Amino acid sequence: MGESVPGRAVIPLFPLGTPLFPGVVLPLQIFEPRYRRLIAELGALPEGPERRFGVVAIRQGWEVEQVAPAEALFDVGCTAVLRLISPRPDGGYRVVAVGGERFRLLDVLLPDPDSGEPPYLRAEVEWLVEEEAAEEAAGDSEAAGEGHPPALTGPGPGKDAADGPGDDVVTDVVRGSLELLAGNVRELFARYVADVAVRQSGGVGALPEDVLAALTGDGEDGEDGAEADPTASALREVSDDARGLSWLVASAALLTTEDRQALLAESATRRRLTLESRLLRRELTLLRTLGAVPVPLAQFAGPLTPN
């Protein structure tokens, strides 16, 4: 479960039908013997980031146990860090985990029952932290080039680069363009949630006002301490966090596994938000054309944590 070489590790693997995203809460009921053992082993560790397993989405129509796991699984996943372990009378567990770090699968290690190895899948992975940093920087460079004339990105006449205002101007342009993009996605997502609510209820009376209020941050919890709509609450939590917003939309919107996986695999927040803008516009068009949604609104959003 520990590091083998810098930037890589061998971790337990937990295939699921959909990707997990950083910061998103994942509740699970554990009943298979091999995963009971996994949770017992992780539960024996001190609380912290080492209480983790890797979640990787299964390709649609593939059975992990009947084909080579590396072919049945997508190649980018996210760790799940255990926050709560509750044993059940039948020997299983209820657990709550939170999405942690993204990784890329390098190799899937099959259990060998004769060797005394753990009975669950494990994988050698590489962490994507450095890739994320490089992609974020590349995305910012693209935004600076697209958002401002070249004359404002360098020093003026008679000025050294260190003395010129160019760097500050570029930084402001980059930050502003990201805020505009995030605001656009936030507005599209709130309209999308509202459209789903209307179609689920059959009328505008159930339009979630606190979802729309979350756009401006004005939404409050209900009277007498009642909790606001979870989607609105999550939107408020990430109101000033473009990266958190991108993960909320990726996890909560009613997208295909392939669409969600594409968002998980994108390392740059700016590019992820750009893709989400296109996907949300597509989904809004489909909602308004077909007039139906495939699942209840209660399944729409999962809790989000900043940790």
Tokens read off for 164: 């010129």
Residues near 80 by beta carbon (within 8 Å), at least 6 away in sequence: 14, 20, 26, 52, 53, 54, 55, 97, 98, 99, 100
Q: What kind of fold does domain 8-127 have according to CATH?
A: 2.30.130
Phi, psi of 93, rounded to the nearest 5 degrees = -140, 150
Which of 9-18, 179-188, 213-222, 291-300 is least confident?
Answer: 213-222
Mean pLDDT calculated for residue range 88-109:
94
Mean pLDDT of the chain: 76
213: pLDDT strictly greater than 80: no
Give me the count of residues in the chain.
307
pTM: 0.75
pLDDT in tens, 113-164: 777 788 899 999 999 988 888 888 876 666 555 544 443 334 444 444 444 4
Tell me which of 40-49, 248-257, 283-292 is least confident. 283-292
Instruction: Give the percent of the chain with pLDDT over 70.
Output: 64
Query: Encoding tokens for residue 130?
Result: 């450095």
pLDDT band at 62 (very low <50, low <70, confident <90, very high): low
What stretch(es) of the chain map to CATH 2.30.130.40? 8-127
The pLDDT of residue 198:
74
pLDDT of residue 101: 95
pLDDT tier for residue 278 given thresholds of 50, 70 and 90: very high
Confidence label for 97 from pLDDT (cuts 50, 70 and 90): very high
Amino acid at 180: L
Query: Quick one: CA torsion of 16, 9, 101, 122, rounded to 10 degrees?
Result: 10
Looking at residue 230, what is its pLDDT? 61
